[in-house]
């Protein structure tokens, strides 16, 4: 029987291993990302968080095992098809914002659509801009914005294609604590209001506690999962890794 749209996982990893020479950066990871959920990924330095993000988002291919994004097995796709799948189905938010300084806010937000030869759905674009609180900043250029505002632009850019999943890699790493909290509250709000599936990679227990559940990686394996996390519970679990 074919799975229905609601039961198809956004992203799934089945027995995924990624080696670099003798190093097993990911070691037999099996995980299915819940649709509409907000998952944080934590672990000590070198535990495989970046490798997990790269494999789960289609930036990289596993050495063995299967990664599916929106039903497609990325190991079977050509480089060009994987790039296209990533552009259409995956949104990214990075610590370093990665905005184009010479383009204004709106041009930055619609860039993924332009790269894919698509035009913006005006109603959705306006909703995204409103949700991230940038309606009065559309003609500004990134250097004229605060760090928190720039990260809002990056979030809007990640949402504009209505991706299956948004991967946020240390999105608050370059922000002061108050701005970091505002950005996390906004991510939480976007998940709750739009049903966007979100995966957050972070070192920060306070950021991870905004998620529905936290995956803990150690030595390239998922060693624990904590539902309904609090900053204290996350920090306590991290100390034991
Ligand atoms: N391109 C690479 N070449 C060689 N080894 C790599 C490469 N990328 C990662 N590794 C190794 O794989 C392991 C996992 O690295 P990864 O960057 O995924 O960990 P991480 O949890 O993201 O670490 P951090 O928190 O320090 O960013 C480490 O031992 C790392 O040295």
The residue whose CA has the least distance to atom 24 of ligand 1 is 45
pLDDT at 9: 66
CA of 27 to the centre of ligand 1 (A): 13
Number of the ligand 1 atom closest to the C-alpha atom of 53: 18
The residue whose CA has the least distance to atom 26 of ligand 1 is 45
Q: Does the beta carbon of 46 sit less than 6 angstroms from any atom of ligand 1?
A: yes
**Domain count within the chain:** 1
pLDDT at 5: 46
Residue 40: C-alpha distances to residues 60, 109, 163 (Å): 20, 24, 18
Residue 128: C-alpha distances to residues 151, 161, 190, 234 (Å): 13, 10, 9, 31
The residue whose CA has the least distance to atom 11 of ligand 1 is 25
Q: Tokens 């799934």 appear where? A: 12
> Rounded to whole angstroms, how far apart are CA atoms 105 and 37?
28
> Rounded to whole angstroms, how far apart are CA atoms 153 and 142?
8
Q: Does the beta carbon of 20 sit less than 6 angstroms from any atom of ligand 1?
A: yes
Q: Please, what are the averages of pLDDT over each run of 10 residues along the chain (241 residues)?
A: 54 97 96 94 96 94 95 91 90 92 96 87 92 94 95 93 93 91 92 93 95 97 97 96 88
Domain presence at residue 76: yes
Half-sphere exposure of 92 (CA within 13 A, CB side): 19
Cβ atoms of 149 and 137 closer than 8 Å: yes
For the stretch 2-48, pLDDT in tens is 444 445 568 999 999 999 999 999 999 999 998 999 999 999 999 99
CATH number at residue 104: 3.40.50.300
Domain presence at residue 1: no
Domain presence at residue 111: yes
Q: Which of 117, 53, 120 is nearest to 84 (CA)?
A: 117
Domain presence at residue 4: no
DSSP element (H, E) containing 112: helix 105-115
pLDDT at 216: 97
Domain presence at residue 221: yes
Domain presence at residue 192: yes
DSSP 3-state percent helix, strand, coil across the chain (nearest 5): 40, 25, 35
pTM, 2 dp = 0.92
Please give the residue range of the domain that contains residue 129: 11-239
Domain presence at residue 93: yes
Q: Tokens 């970046």 appear where? A: 50
The residue whose CA has the least distance to atom 13 of ligand 1 is 25
Mode of pairing for the β-strands spanning 213-218 and 38-42: parallel
Q: Does the beta carbon of 47 sit less than 6 angstroms from any atom of ligand 1?
A: yes
CA angle, residues 207, 212, 215, in degrees to nearest 5: 75
Radius of gyration of the chain (CA): 18
Residue 159: C-alpha distances to residues 17, 31, 54 (Å): 29, 23, 19
Domain presence at residue 3: no
The torsion of the CA quartet 152, 159, 36, 167, rounded to 10 degrees, works out to -70
């Amino acid at each position: 029987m074919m799975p229905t749209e609601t039961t198809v996982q956004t992203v799934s990893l089945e027995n995924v291993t990624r080696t670099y020479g003798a190093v097993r950066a990911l070691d037999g990871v099996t995980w299915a990302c819940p649709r509409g959920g907000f998952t944080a990924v934590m672990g000590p330095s070198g535990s495989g968080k970046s490798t997990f993000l790269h494999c789960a988002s289609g930036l990289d291919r596993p050495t063995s095992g299967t990664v599916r994004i929106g039903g497609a097995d990325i190991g079977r796709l050509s480089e060009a098809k994987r790039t296209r799948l990533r552009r259409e189905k995956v949104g990214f938010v990075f610590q370093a914002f990665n905005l184009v300084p010479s383009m204004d806010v709106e041009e930055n937000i619609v860039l993924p659509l332009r790269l894919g030869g698509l035009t913006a759905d005006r109603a959705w674009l306006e909703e995204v801009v409103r949700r991230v609180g940038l309606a009065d900043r559309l003609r500004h250029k990134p250097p004229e914005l605060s760090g928190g505002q720039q990260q809002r632009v990056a979030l809007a850019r990640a949402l504009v294609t209505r991706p299956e999943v948004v991967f946020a890699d240390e999105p608050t790493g370059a922000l002061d604590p108050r701005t970091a909290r505002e950005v996390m509250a906004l991510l939480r709000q976007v998940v709750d209001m739009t049903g966007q599936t979100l995966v957050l990679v972070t070192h920060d227990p306070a950021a991870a506690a905004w998620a529905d559940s936290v995956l803990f990686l150690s030595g390239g394996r998922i060693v624990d999962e904590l539902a309904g996390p609090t900053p204290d519970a996350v920090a306590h679990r991290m100390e034991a890794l």
